[in-house]
Amino acid sequence: MEHKFIAKRYWQDKSTAMGKSDVMAKAFDDVIDLSLGDPDMITPRPIIEKAFEDALAGHTKYTDFRGDPELRSEIIKYYKKKYGMEVADEEIFVTASGCLAMYLVLEAIIDDGDEVLIQAPYFTPYPQQVELARGIPVELPTYEDEDFQVNIERMESLITEKTKAIIINSPNNPCGSCLTLETMKQIAQIAEKYDLIVISDEIYTGFSFEHVFVPFASLEGMKERTITINSFSKNFVMTGWRVGNIIAQDYIIEVVQQINENVVFTAPSISQRAGIYALAHCDEIQPPITEEFKARMTYAAGRINKIKGMHIIEPPKGSFYLFPSIKQTGMTSEETAEFLLKEAHVLVLPGNAFGSCGEGHIRICCTVSREKLKEAFDRIENVMAQI
């Protein structure tokens, strides 16, 4: 909107399909919403009860600026137990969400005009977050016929003297893909060759179905040049608690802290207490969540491959997102999403919302029950048969 009281950089509409989905979900009374990664299940009850107990015990104040020391300690234990990876206390910063973590990191490392490669299709906020930090986002496309792996030659061709960092995300939103260990090692070699920082968004670590998750920072020589973004939102179904963390070299954490003091000061104390319990009891809490989403993803992928004009790689590899191709329909991704909303009353997001290489796809979130998924795919199958 152009207005004298609006900063000129926002005169051009920067809203996204994801941001508009709330309005679209209200288009019909019986819409089945498969658009956002906010699961239907609530946070596991023991996490809620422990956070409530801690709140009553007085944990309602500001925490330490880098996060509750007990939570930082649990993060250290978690990485040692899960991945055999050593993380120092001064390398951890607790944030009010994974999204804020990404912004704080970009603000800390980017100079005006620095370029940041972004693995695409990408989580929609990434490019604007780079721009907010006065950087230049550069899309690094991946494609279905390459199993959505980063093509190293393509990546290297996009690197210039202004390239500062690369953002990777595995398991991936929106593709549901997982980078192979070989691809990760090749990315690491390029990062070393061109002296790049790797920002690894690892908020879906609990949803790697085919292989045990490997943190990028655990690769040989990568800890010194990797910034890891974590969140409790997905692994522990804690989207509304808004708590995440950053793992990086201590000098980066120091700058992140300086920036954060001018943004939100500290992450919510009660949410951090919930995070302490979640990590300490992850072996009990995570497996049932992972198994339920894997079952939903497997069911949904099977249904998709029986629908006219749609197909997807099976079996699903990770996250709780599917990114089926709709190229055979002859419609664009936006036309397909609009068609499914109007004719089937099922809300999905167009693939081009996640980067230009997402055209020809739609994103489906398996964040409703299998019964609801069945109803959604029954509707989709019925309307797609008519085109």
Return the pLDDT at 28: 82
Q: What is the CATH number of the domain that holds 320?
A: 3.90.1150.10
Return the pLDDT at 1: 79
Is 239 found in the same domain as 148? yes
Above 80 in pLDDT, residue 15? no
Is 311 found in the same domain as 218? no
Report the run of H or E that residue 252 belongs to, with start and end. Answer: helix 250-260
Q: Final residue of a domain: which of 230, 248, 283?
A: 283
Q: Residue 3 domain-assigned? A: no
* Pairing label, strands 362-365, 349-350: antiparallel
Above 60 in pLDDT, residue 18? no
Is 52 found in the same domain as 38? no
Where do the DSSP E strands lie in the chain? 32-33, 92-95, 115-120, 136-141, 163-169, 197-201, 226-231, 244-247, 321-322, 346-347, 349-350, 362-365
Give the tens place of pLDDT for each residue, 164-192. Answer: 999 999 999 999 999 999 999 999 999 99
pLDDT band at 368; cut points 50, 70, 90: very high
- What does the DSSP 8-state code read for residue 311? B
Is 311 found in the same domain as 169? no
Is 246 found in the same domain as 117? yes
Above 70 in pLDDT, residue 117? yes
Strand arrangement of the beta sheet that strand 92-95 belongs to: 92-95, 244-247, 226-231, 197-201, 163-169, 115-120, 136-141
Above 80 in pLDDT, residue 105? yes
Q: Final residue of a domain: which of 283, 314, 329?
A: 283
The tally of domains found in the chain comes to 2
pLDDT band at 25; cut points 50, 70, 90: low
Return the pLDDT at 286: 97
Average pLDDT over residues 331-357: 97
Q: Are 225 and 198 in contact, with CB atoms under 8 Å apart?
A: yes
Report the share of the chain in percent with pLDDT over 70: 96
Is 206 found in the same domain as 128? yes
Q: Residue 76 domain-assigned? A: yes
Is 274 found in the same domain as 147? yes
Measure CA of the first residue to CA of the last residue in the chain; give whole Å. 37
Is 183 found in the same domain as 61? yes
Q: Residue 350 domain-assigned? A: yes
Return the pLDDT at 380: 98
Q: Residue 1 domain-assigned? A: no
Is 360 found in the same domain as 253? no
* Amino acid making up residue 269: S
Q: What is the mean pLDDT of the chain?
A: 95
pLDDT band at 256; cut points 50, 70, 90: very high
Residue 197, helix vs strand vs coil:
strand
Q: Residue 90 domain-assigned? A: yes
Report the run of H or E that residue 130 belongs to, with start and end. Answer: helix 125-132
Q: How many residues does this entry show for the chain?
A: 387
* Of 171, 151, 183, residue with least CA distance to 213: 171
Q: Residue 368 domain-assigned? A: yes
Q: What is the CATH number of the domain that holds 212?
A: 3.40.640.10
Is 184 found in the same domain as 76? yes
Structure tokens belonging to residue 236: 């522990």
Above 90 in pLDDT, residue 95? yes
* Of 170, 125, 128, residue with least CA distance to 149: 170
Find tokens 């699961």 and name the residue.
39
Average pLDDT over residues 21-47: 86
Above 70 in pLDDT, residue 229? yes
CA–CA separation, 37 and 173 (whole Å): 9
Is 147 found in the same domain as 20? no
Above 60 in pLDDT, residue 223? yes
Range of the domain at 227: 45-283
Is 249 found in the same domain as 107? yes
Q: Final residue of a domain: which of 225, 252, 283?
A: 283
Q: Residue 2 domain-assigned? A: no
Would you give the distance in Å from CA 155 to the centre of its chain?
A: 21
Q: Residue 377 domain-assigned? A: yes
